[in-house]
Amino acid sequence: MRGKDNMRTAAEVLVDQLIVNGVGHAFCIPGESYLAVLDAFHDRSIAVTICRQEGGAAMMAEAVGKLSGRPGVAFVTRGPGATNASPGIHIAHQDSTPMILFVGQVARDMRGREAFQELDYRAVFGSMTKWTTEIDDPQRIPEIVSRAFHVATSGRPGPVVIALPEDMLTERVAVADAAAVMPAATVPGAAQMQRFAQLLAAAKRPVAVVGGSRWTQEACTEMARFAERFALPVFTSFRRAHLFDALHPSYAGDIGVGANPKVVARIKEADLAIIVGGRMGEMPSQGYTVFDIPTPQMPFVHVHPGAEELGRVYHPTLAINASPDAFAAALAALAPPKDIPWRKETEAAHAEYLAYTEKATEVPGAVNFGECVAWLRQRLPPDAILTNGAGNYSGWTHRFYRFRRYGTQLGPTSGSMGYGVPAAVAAKRLHPERTVVAFAGDGCFLMNGQEFATAVQYDLPIVVVIVDNGMFGTIRMHQEREYPGRISGTGLKNPDFAAYARAFGGFGATVEKTADFASAFDEAVKSGKPAILHVKVDPEALTTSTTISKVRAAALAKKG
Ligand SMILES: Cc1ncc(C[n+]2csc(CCOP(=O)(O)OP(=O)(O)O)c2C)c(N)n1
Ligand SMILES: [Mg+2]
């Protein structure tokens, strides 16, 4: 409480500074190291979500950053709380998501003795964050928090970690709040847009790949308009399919893990590559094989908000240091050629995308998960949010779901398992009116399945679809390819996930046949409770396009 002398505790100054910056939600696991902050939350407007493990809390904050473009905020205790939170920080780092993690710290007069749970956060998180710091002087909280918002949101967004010595938080200070932070705009210059127009005018087979962060719905709409006027084929990067309407005539498919070979070929053979927002990292670049390094085989336009990303891997013909939203806005000024030479190619690319995704592929077993996903695309409203972690199961949603709008896909480009459930909890907490569906493998789910309790605690009726093949299937796939027939360390014995859901106070159902999926899903929604659908698939159904037996046979044949 603000005292008569206008003094606040440092913790109150901190929470007020978050409120100034529009923070509506904080995700936490409590700790004795930051009781003063918990107390400050008591009579402030921020909605606090108590989680079950710091990994979940940090992933929820990261998901808020992905969805809103503003830093998601989590609070965790020192030492083990901080290290538990690290997967969320790593996702924010690789996925270019703004996020601020506050961690407890021992009292200032004990530092350096390896006091209880003490960590040197700058050393621990230094390479995983854009900035890691510790607040020694409570007078400087507005300054440091203000800087944290600037750092997290500007250029290439990313995570910031701020450590809070316990005794610092209870000091009373008289200090003014700093103003709200707006990220620095990075806008393309007129000369660069002119050069871009020239490159486009000289092209016969251009392609665009959209990815990264710092997009908005308006920016996606601008990009779609530009693509339409120029009949430009647009691809989406790994787990960024929501950046472009799948049914737009320019949509040519996504380039990620298990990409359509025709997509890869089209991008490789283009005579102009326009990369907007993404980095073309290892996954979308198919292990750095799509573009020659350092100099791509075709003129290469790289648009990225982080100056340090331009030229980091690919030497661009034209580097445009701009955020995707600013670049997309600038596209409106360009005029398309009278005759667009690549129009037919774009039509063909879109037709290829539709053909690749129209109908679920045949897979062994009683459940064809592709058919379940294809059913969901007409069942779910266009603003439904789909989340996932890592695993082969995600290949079915990536291929057969059709994202229509910005902010409907939450998937870790960092490939972190366990992301789907916490991301869904965060999405539903932010947007209670929207349908939220989490996809998880049997391995993925139990990495953060305990956050289903958080969904129950806050009455968040998400639907979790667990694709159970009884194994860490992705690794089994790699194993069969490298060491055919030698199964080791990849099998799983699973619980009854529907009973798990009910034990937590949710809705649970088991699906053992494709035909039962629709009614189970509808019942889950009708229950009004957080729900789990335990979908049992045949382990042979390894991916949308191959089986264990086929991978093994191919590997054995190769060995001779
Ligand atoms: C946190 C984390 N640990 C380990 C891995 C390595 N890994 C990638 S996919 C995978 C298996 C996923 O299993 P599951 O969720 O059951 O999905 P499936 O591949 O069987 O469909 C593993 C262990 C990872 N990506 N992330
Ligand atoms: Mg599995």
* Phi/psi of residue 19, nearest 5 degrees: -65, -40
* Phi/psi of residue 358, nearest 5 degrees: -60, -55
- Joined together, the tokens standing for residue 435 give 């349908």
pLDDT digits (tens, 9 = 90+) for 51-75: 999 999 999 999 999 999 999 999 9
Q: In the prediction, which pLDDT does 1 show?
A: 52
Q: What is the mean pLDDT of the chain?
A: 97
Q: Is the pLDDT of residue 286 over 70?
A: yes
Q: Is the pLDDT of residue 2 over 80?
A: no
**Rounded distance between C-alpha atoms, residue 254 and residue 207, angstroms:** 12
Q: How far is CA 282 from CA 255, 256, 288, 289, in A?
A: 11, 9, 6, 9
Instruction: Give me the helices (H) in 108-165, please.
Output: 121-125, 141-153
Residues found in the chain = 560
Instruction: Specify the residue for token string 């209870």.
Output: 170
Average pLDDT over residues 446-456: 98
Q: How far is the CA of 389 from the centre of ligand 1 (A)?
A: 8
Q: Is the pLDDT of residue 3 over 70?
A: no
**Pocket of ligand 1 contains residue 390 by CB under 6 Å:** yes
Average pLDDT over residues 517-541: 98
Ligand nearest to the CA of 393: 1
Between the CA atoms of 56, 62, 67 and 70, what dihedral angle is there, to the nearest 10 degrees? 140
Q: How far is CA 481 from CA 171, 282, 486, in A?
A: 60, 20, 10
pLDDT digits (tens, 9 = 90+) for 301-352: 999 999 999 999 999 999 999 999 999 999 999 999 999 999 999 999 999 9
For the chain, the C-alpha Rg in angstroms (whole number) is 24
Q: How far is the CA of 520 from the centre of ligand 2 (A)?
A: 20
Q: How far is the CA of 197 from the centre of ligand 1 (A)?
A: 43
Which residue has the CA at smallest separation from atom 13 of ligand 1? 472
pTM, 2 dp: 0.98
Q: How far is the CA of 284 from the centre of ligand 2 (A)?
A: 23
User: Closest ligand 1 atom to the C-alpha of 394?
Assistant: 21
Q: Is the pLDDT of residue 134 over 90?
A: yes
Query: Which H or E run contains 255?
Result: strand 251-255
**Pocket of ligand 1 contains residue 442 by CB under 6 Å:** yes
Q: Maximum Cα–Cα distance for the chain, whole Å?
A: 84
Q: Is the pLDDT of residue 483 over 90?
A: yes
Name the amino acid, one letter, at 166.
Answer: E
Q: How far is CA 260 from CA 79, 92, 255, 354, 555, in A?
A: 44, 27, 7, 11, 21
Q: In the prediction, which pLDDT does 339 show?
A: 93
**Rounded distance between C-alpha atoms, residue 382 and residue 175, angstroms:** 46
Tell which residue, 163, 26, 10, has the closest CA to residue 81: 163
287: left (phi over 0), alpha (psi -120 to 50) or beta: left
Tell which residue, 505, 423, 527, has the closest CA to residue 456: 505
Q: How far is the CA of 392 from the centre of ligand 1 (A)?
A: 8
Q: Is the pLDDT of residue 458 over 90?
A: yes
User: Closest ligand 1 atom to the C-alpha of 445?
Assistant: 15
User: Closest ligand 1 atom to the C-alpha of 390?
Assistant: 9
Q: How far is the CA of 507 from the centre of ligand 1 (A)?
A: 25
**Pocket of ligand 1 contains residue 391 by CB under 6 Å:** yes
**Pocket of ligand 1 contains residue 386 by CB under 6 Å:** no
Q: Decide which of 9 and 5 is more confident.
A: 9
Confidence of residue 4 (pLDDT cuts 50, 70, 90): low
pLDDT digits (tens, 9 = 90+) for 15-29: 999 999 999 999 999
Which residue has the CA at smallest separation from atom 2 of ligand 1? 417
Q: Is the pLDDT of residue 141 over 90?
A: yes
**Pocket of ligand 1 contains residue 443 by CB under 6 Å:** yes
**Pocket of ligand 1 contains residue 62 by CB under 6 Å:** no
**Pocket of ligand 1 contains residue 415 by CB under 6 Å:** yes
Percent of the chain residues topping a pLDDT of 70: 99
Ligand nearest to the CA of 479: 1
Q: In the prediction, which pLDDT does 222 show?
A: 98
How crowded is residue 402: how many other Cβ atoms within 10 Å of its Cβ? 20
